[in-house]
Amino acid sequence: MFRRVLIANRGEIALRILRACRTMGIEAVVAYSEADRESLPVQLADEAICIGPADAKRSYLSAPALISAAVITGCDAVHPGYGFLSEDETFAEVVRAHDLTFIGPSADVLDKFASKEGTRRLLGSHGLPTIPGSDGMLRDDAHALDEADRIGYPVLIKPSAGGGGKGMRMVRTPRELESAIKICRSEAKSAFGDDSLYLEKWLDDNRHVEVQVAIDRFGRGIHLGERDCSVQRRHQKILEEGPTPALGPAARADLAERAVRAVVAAGYENVGTLEFLVDRDGNPYFIEINCRIQVEHPVTELLTGVDMVALQMRIAAGEPLPLTQSDITLEGHAIEFRINAEDPEHDFRPGAGVVTRYHAPGGPGVRMDSHLYEGYEVPPFYDSLLGKLVVWAPDRATAIARGKAALDELLVEGLTTNIEIHKALLANEAFLDGKMTTNLLDRVGSAAFLAAAARA
Amino acid sequence: MPDGPSKSRDRDRDADLAAIDALIDRLVPALTAKLGASHLGELEVREGDWKIRLRRPATAGSWNGEARRATDRAGRSAAGASGSPAHDPHRVATPASSNGATPGGGHAGHTSGTAGRPSHEHETRRVATSPAVGVFRPNARATVGTRVREGDALGHIDVLGVREDVLAPADGLVGELLTDAGNAVEYGQELLVIAVAAPAGAA
């Protein structure tokens, strides 16, 4: 196992990795930008090292700065967290070239799964149902129009690289396609440095269900159940839960088993998440794999009792999986609420500022993963995630009740948060019935959603 | 759920902001003068629901102190690491962090005319800081007493074999080296002091 790990990330995930390191007896070195000097992970770290200015390109996205920091602080591994360089095969390769372990898949594996379109084809060949889509990357507008005609509108334009909804648009007509494709190209170019796009058939009223897997170096794999991430706003997940209300127990088990079989056969290694769209009739379609620890991993942790970050580090250290499939039992129901510094009443405008009061809720089955403290100044340079409130209960109704109580108790003052949208969700009929679809929030509009909840 | 709780909060917030503006216009200039004339570190005035507290810029805020301890601890553990250069635990206290508001302190101190350089003694002393995280390699110019021009390279930071120049921040004489050659340094770390040349016409 590693002796000393460089945490190449910030915010709640830096804290989460630090906590995993502590429980495993590993020293944690936190790499931080000047904007994060006063952050909680920096305060709690065994060592903290400033790697650059606030601009992420010169700090959290700078491979030389991060690796140099790891070398001079005597680390033997680098944990990239999520986002930033977590799925960058060049970074993974350079980390290894400096005799450090990249806590994630090898560069070869990352390379194999780097293209979403290629991955869809690869896992399709290993038995996963895939969504109809364009034949390869879009060469030009004419090619895009031809392919969209063949697939049938509506279609979703997607960038080959990255995630988080950037460069992604759903279009219903050739005219919309022509104008949206330019925006998608420029968004993808600026966000990921790669403007290749492809098309996918858009399923109206779909659900987003994802399977968590863990595969060791020896090709032994397990799944840890699935999560439902259908509550989205403009392709950004807001709330995640497990098990999914969209599928029955047999269909859930079948999907998870097929997912783990396919990735083992395709040569995957690390923890990973296979994302599926599920249509109205309950048919799943594989869309992409995330080769990293995910924001919503605590949902799985509460359902299985497995520490996903620790498991990921064991796999990266070359240990065989400490668990077999029969050790994994999924119990109860878990819901995660992403608490963001954004204003639901003003188009989710992101905010920054000093947290003047902070209180995290508690009680049975309540967990708060957050880097906030009173007096902490949320810098304006990075994403707006302030933390994750996660609740667990033996059944969904009780989990919702615990979620409501915990959201009422949660106090974040000094900046505007999206807490109200979560309260509105827990009062929404579609959510309570387990019938949320990925487009519902955008179709209804967040303002109408909040207003309806206020009337209820 | 009560009707439109956020709207009424918005109104409250606007009213609060207006009240704060009024207090600042009326009280802060007077209080600043009083604080300046006294030897007090802090002055607090209460009026109705409001209180205003002015504080002289602290040398180090409490959180900053915490951070420093974190690196001191780190420095020791790094020194124990075999084969890697000791990470210098020295940390730069930027003006921004040393002037930082403390939680709940109704901080208005930075309106009191001390913006900019924290104190006069720094005016003849400028510090070259590290442009990157890596190993400090000063060159021949970086010896005490050498006359340098602004922008002169005083050495470099070795970042995995790539050089990032350390530049003189002003014309002057090289003073103290704040860390030794070969030490591991972090971004922004203070490396060496330049005694600034007296401006033309000064005694």
- pLDDT tens digits, one per residue of A180-207: 999 999 998 888 888 999 999 988 889 9
**Percent residues over pLDDT 70 in chain B:** 37
pLDDT of residue B64 exceeding 50: no
Q: Mind telling me how many Å the CA of B25 is from chain A's nearest CA?
A: 23
Cβ neighbours, 10 Å, residue A236: 19
Give yes or no for a cis peptide into A249 (omega within 30° of 0): no
pLDDT tens, residue by residue, A100-134: 999 999 999 999 998 888 899 999 999 999 988 89
Beta-carbon contacts of residue A288 (< 8 Å; ≥ 6 apart): A116, A119, A120, A163, A274, A275
Q: Which residue in B67, B81, B133 is closest to A42 by CB distance?
A: B67
Beta carbons of B78 and A68 less than 8 Å apart: no
The residues near B12 (Cβ < 8 Å, ≥ 6 apart) are none
Strand, helix or coil at A142? helix
For residue A236, is pLDDT > 50? yes
- What 3-state class would DSSP assign to A241? strand
Residue B143 pLDDT: 95
CA A99 to chain centre: 28
Q: What local confidence, expressed as pLDDT, does residue B67 receive?
A: 35
A54 touches B: beta carbon within 8 Å: no
CB A166 within 8 A of CB A192: yes
**Contact with chain A for residue B78, Cβ under 8 A:** yes
Helix-helix angle A63-72:A89-97, to 10 degrees = 30
CA-CA distance, A179 to A290, in Å (whole number)? Answer: 29
Per-residue model confidence (pLDDT) at position A116: 84
State how far residue A95 is from chain B, nearest Cα, in angstroms: 11
Looking at this predicted complex, what is its ipTM? 0.86
- Rounded CA-CA distance B138/B166 in Å is 8
Please tell me if residue A44 touches chain B, with a CB cutoff of 8 Å: yes
Between A264 and B28, where is the model more confident?
A: A264
Q: What is the pTM for the complete model shown? A: 0.79
| Residue range A381-421, pLDDT digits in tens | 999 999 999 999 999 999 999 999 999 999 999 999 999 99
Q: Does A227 qualify as catalytic in the annotation?
A: no
How many secondary structure helices (H) and strands (E) does chain B include?
3, 10
Rounded CA gap, A298 and A346, in Å? Answer: 29
Residue of B nearest to A450 (CA): B4
Entry field: residues in chain B: 203
DSSP designation for A218: T
The one catalytic residue in A120, A207, A292, A314 is A292
Scanning the structure block, which residue is given the tokens 């933390």? A387
pLDDT at A190: 86
Query: pLDDT: is A113 or B5 the higher one?
Result: A113
Q: Residue B108 has what pLDDT? A: 35
What is the per-residue pLDDT for B49?
62
Indicate the residue of B1, B73, B87 with minimum beta-carbon distance to A49. B87
Res. B101: pLDDT tops 80: no
